[in-house]
Homo-oligomer: A and B are copies of this chain.
């Protein structure tokens, strides 16, 4: 599932990737450099799974990862995505519980795997780092709260419009205006929280309304204001 890559120093990477690491001194940075493992995963690989005990946390360098929970009947609910610069898996390390989500690679990726003690030690000894990590989890918490409200109150149509804008905002588009993330219809339905068929029908409605253009998994957003109107943003 994963390949271990040649060792790369954190000096050149970590500080750029995330504000979290801005506050590390040279010693702390070297410590991470020496103890991290850089791994490469192909699309479809699972990095960790719900219920497993975490053996560290991950720093995403390249690629896209989906983070999801598996519901009662086996249907997955995508909670969020991680892209370069994001940190995943820290939640379970800190609360010292089994992972409450699974992560699967959407687009081939490279991640740095950092052992758990390093995280705990940094929190305890580097106040600025602790504060930055707190900010991160508080930000995620705020987003989760909004997501709860949306799922509870908005229609599927509204949510799909919102998710398309979210994906646009999060992953951007290429020079042709095509979203930089390719999801199956089923994955889209697992974000929105609906049936695959509903997503297919709504996407095709949006296409007819000239809001988007479809080409397989490639989605091109034509009318952002129109989508915002539908999404009630």
Separation in Å of the A161 CB from the closest CB of chain B?
12
Separation in Å of the A82 CB from the closest CB of chain B?
14
Question: Which chain B residue has the least Cβ–Cβ distance from A77?
Answer: B149
Bound-state Cα–Cα, A137 to B90, Å: 12
Separation in Å of the A106 CB from the closest CB of chain B?
18
Bound-state Cα–Cα, A77 to B140, Å: 18
Which B residues touch A101, using CB under 8 A?
145
Bound-state Cα–Cα, A96 to B77, Å: 30
B153 near A71: Cβ-Cβ < 8 Å: yes
A142 near B79: Cβ-Cβ < 8 Å: no
Bound-state Cα–Cα, A123 to B130, Å: 7
A69-85 to B contact mask, C-beta < 8 Å, 1/0? 10111010101000000
A100 proximal to B (CB < 8 A): yes
Bound-state Cα–Cα, A97 to B139, Å: 9
Given contacts A152-B151, A193-B152, contact A128 B124 (CB under 8 A): yes
Separation in Å of the A97 CB from the closest CB of chain B?
7
A95 touches which one: B95, B97, B142, B154 (CB < 8 A)? B142
Which B residues touch A30, using CB under 8 A?
none
- Give the 5 A-B residue pairs with the shortest CB-CB distance, closest first: A152-B193, A124-B127, A144-B144, A130-B130, A71-B153
Q: List 6 A-B contacts (CB under 8 A).
A: A69-B149, A90-B138, A92-B138, A95-B135, A124-B127, A124-B131
